[in-house]
Amino acid sequence: MKKVFILVFAIVMTAIAVSPSALAANTASKGTYQDVYDTDWFVDDVGYVHNLGLMDGVGEKFLPFNYATRGEIIQSLYRLDGKPSIAATTYYYFSDIPTPNSPYYYAINWAVDKGIIYGYGDEKRTVGVNDPVTREQLVTILYRYAFYKKADLTPWQTLSQYKDLDKVSVWATSPFAWAVATGLVRGTSGTELSPQGTTTRAELAAVSHRLGLMFNVRPRNDNFVATIGKRERSGYRLIRSDSTEKITVYNYENSGYTGKIEYTNTAGNQTQVHYDASGKIIRAVRYDTYAKTPKLVEDEWFEYDSRGELSSKRDLLTNQFKYYYPTYDSNGRVKVATRIEVTPTLQVKLVNLNFTYTSDGYTTESKDDVFAVSKTYDKDNRLVATRTENLKNKEIEELFYSYDRWGRLIETRYLCGNHTDYTEYYTYNQYDDKTTKTIIGKKNFLSYDMSVTYENKYDAYGNLLSQTGYVDGQVYESITNQWVK
């Protein structure tokens, strides 16, 4: 049993370490913008909007103290919502964004279509994209966006303590009461709202950050390591040691996704993983370093099509190739994925993976010559169930997923015949870092029920410092991380 747990733990921790999202910096320091520093109160806010692409800099500067425009706040919300498309018949004409080439054209038309912003004047033919956004306009736009997203609008804060309450326009009173209650905005002082005051780009970044977290939009894909507040790792080494005295060293080149991760462990393996600017793996190289001269044992290259889908994978060492040819339906979804495998002896194997979708678009099914897989999604497009049937031995594996009110995965149940029935439970801290994972039940390699818990600890920037594994309450395995320049 001990060997099995060591293997499982090692696989989990390796996945954590090499995940490119674990390197994505959220902090916009001088290395990102010349006018934003680690000591600025808004550094993490600028890092957030920069990481998610919600706001753009101007060359090498962010211009945090310039006023924010109406176009910029709408652009930020549009990007936060995933830049959704709208029907061609719903586009509007405004004199200050007359053509699709005009800045903010698509964002403004989306916002008008959703009732988030309206035109100026009697004929509503201008939207003032370059006008400074006032604080009362800002909270009203945020309020309408929250309404469009079906958010909870019941939080309410009395505004009687603000001396300039009488200067708040009638249409902005409720949005102000809601925005102050939720913490999206604050008074400019304890007694003033400054409703006609302008908003700086730093303040817009802060509001966008708070709004994004309200809707659980976070710049990460990795379940273990959050990117909120993470520092640039270019030029750093991560030294990871565990309770089996194995030491792994990770070297990071460049920053964010782009570049290479190299890691070596005392088991005699060295791996290099190369990423492109979008975070996709383009090369994976592995060496056996036990010999006097490191021996290359794997050299895989990856290519992608125009949609970002994997199109080929080839191992230059064994001369083995895999080609992927997806075809798409009218909605842009994969209809058939064809995989062609060519062995070193030039044997060719062709496998077709067929996808079908129900009318609601949420339930999908896929099928090849061995497995049939069906996936079910809820109304928020979250995966809630997966069913896999082995067409040869008829064995069925089922997984069920549960989420909390913030959309975080908190429970996964695994069922497979009469030999596997266990549940994983997850907890998080306030930054959505996964703090514990507990496994309770019967797994296929054990003949009795078990209880396994992993506890994670993080530094102030969301970097994983340590992980401890417990089996039936006893410490079984642990790792520690140390960052060195």
Determine the distance from the C-alpha atom of residue 16 to the mean position of all C-alpha atoms in its chain, rounded to a whole number.
14
Name the residue among 355, 403, 412 with its Cα closest to residue 379.
403
Two tokens, residue 471: 């089996």
pLDDT score at 235: 55
**Which residues of 168-256 form beta strands (DSSP E)?**
237-242, 247-252
Quick: pLDDT tens for 142-153: 999 999 998 888
- Report the distance separating Cα 64 and Cα 204, nearest Å: 9
> Which positions ≥6 away from 185 have C-beta within 8 Å?
135, 138, 139, 142, 176, 179, 207
- Report the distance separating Cα 432 and Cα 411, nearest Å: 15
Q: What is the mean pLDDT of the chain?
A: 77
Two tokens, residue 339: 């995989």
- Report the distance separating Cα 464 and Cα 454, nearest Å: 13
pLDDT score at 18: 34
Two tokens, residue 2: 């001990």
Q: 146 and 113 in contact (C-beta within 8 Å)?
A: no
- Report the distance separating Cα 114 and Cα 99, nearest Å: 20
Which secondary-structure segment (H or E) carries 475? strand 474-484
172, burial (CB in 10 Å: exposed 0-12, middle 13-18, buried 19+):
buried
Q: 71 and 103 in contact (C-beta within 8 Å)?
A: yes
Quick: pLDDT tens for 80-106: 988 887 776 667 778 888 888 888 888
Two tokens, residue 391: 């067409």
pLDDT under 70 in the chain at which residues? 1-32, 88-90, 121-124, 218-237, 244-246, 250-268, 277-279, 289-292, 359-363, 406, 418-419, 430-431, 443-449, 459-462, 485
